[in-house]
Copies of this chain bind each other. A is one copy, B any other.
């Protein structure tokens, strides 16, 4: 997917001169910035930025960059991360029986659009084994009778695979708090409503009951509070009185998969920065 790039994401207390310091640092080494985005959060008075730099424009490698940048970062009190487009992100997918999101993600992956490694798919049902294995991707069944053991197994698999993101592609199981904490900002869920409306179970039934004229889907980071984590992406689609719950489920699948794919793409491209319970998404 094009030339090699380093992506630098930063958050720090707001003050003047941050952009100048960072872009000056890059320029002083001949670095060529190809994308740069900034945001100040008014409430927290924190500054957020993201830069993409051509790897071949720099005279040193990523480790050297990190070592040198650390000095500047210290001066501004920066939280920062640097990633390398040559190092693919590793995405582990959790799925139950509904496969529209899985089908969508695997297609994007095999067509090269979603430029990640998918080391495995994990499910509490055997239904999707054949489809996943057809892609040459290992499929792990994890029984949910003993939830504690099940989630330990999921965590073990995720860590053994050095996963960068754990995607709940309509997994329909609630992650235990200790995993939400351990993998904060790395677990991505797709909820089948326009949150905060219709959190929890059966959102399309809730929407039908309330008589809304649009339904939605929400991609968010998973936190201990169910369906309350930072929202990455959302969308809505128009319905009308003639649509049954089944129709809504059908329309909903189309936005669920699109919203999840867009949110995940932003995540793996380091475009999503978390600020309190909100996200900054640099597009």
Identify the A interface with B (CB < 8 A).
16-17, 19-21, 23-24, 26-28, 30-36, 38-40, 42, 57, 99-100, 103-104, 107, 111, 113, 134, 194-198, 210-214, 216, 230-236, 240-242, 244, 250, 253-254, 258, 261, 275, 277-281, 283
CB–CB A36/B19 < 8 A: yes
CA distance A195 to B23 in the complex (A): 39
Residues from chain B with Cβ under 8 Å of A36 in the complex? 19, 36, 38
Q: Please, which residues of chain B bring their CB within 8 A of the CB of A258? A: 254
Docked CA distance A17–B31 (Å): 8
Query: B42 contacts A19, CB within 8 Å?
Result: no
User: Is A16 touching B38 in the complex (CB atoms < 8 A)?
Assistant: no
In the assembled complex, the Cα of A231 lies from the Cα of B211 at a distance in Å of: 6
Tell whether, in the assembled complex, residue A107 and residue B100 are in contact, meaning their CB atoms are under 8 Å apart: yes
CA distance A261 to B198 in the complex (A): 27
What residues of chain B lie closer than 8 Å to A33, measured between beta carbons?
A: 16, 19, 38
**A16 contact from B21, B57, B234, B253, Cβ within 8 A:** B57
Is A231's CB under 8 angstroms from B250's CB?
Answer: no
The reply to whether B211 and A194 form a contact with Cβ atoms under 8 Å apart is: no
Are A19 and B23 interface neighbours, CB within 8 A?
A: yes
Q: Can you list 18 A-B pairs with a CB-CB distance of less than 8 A?
A: A16-B31, A16-B57, A20-B24, A20-B27, A24-B24, A34-B40, A39-B242, A100-B111, A194-B212, A194-B236, A195-B197, A196-B198, A196-B212, A210-B231, A210-B277, A211-B230, A213-B231, A214-B236
Q: Is the CB of B279 within 8 A of A241?
A: yes
Q: Which residue of B lies closest to A194 (CB)?
A: B194
Most buried by B among A19, A113, A234, A258: A19
A27 lies within 8 A of B38 (CB) = no
What's the Cα separation between A283 and B216 when bound, in Å?
Answer: 20
In whole Å, how far is A219's beta carbon from the nearest beta carbon of chain B? 9
Which chain B positions have C-beta within 8 A of A99? 107, 111
The reply to whether A211 and B279 contact each other, CB–CB distance below 8 Å, is yes
Known A-B contacts A16-B27, A36-B19; the reply to A212 vs B235 at CB < 8 A is no
Pairwise interchain contact B32-A27, C-beta atoms closer than 8 A: no
What chain B residues lie within 8 Å of A23 (beta carbons)? Answer: 19-20, 23-24
Residue picked from A17, A31, A233, most chain B C-beta under 10 Å: A17
Per the bound structure, the CA–CA distance linking A40 and B244 in Å amounts to 11
Determine whether the beta carbon of B100 is less than 8 Å from that of A280. Answer: no
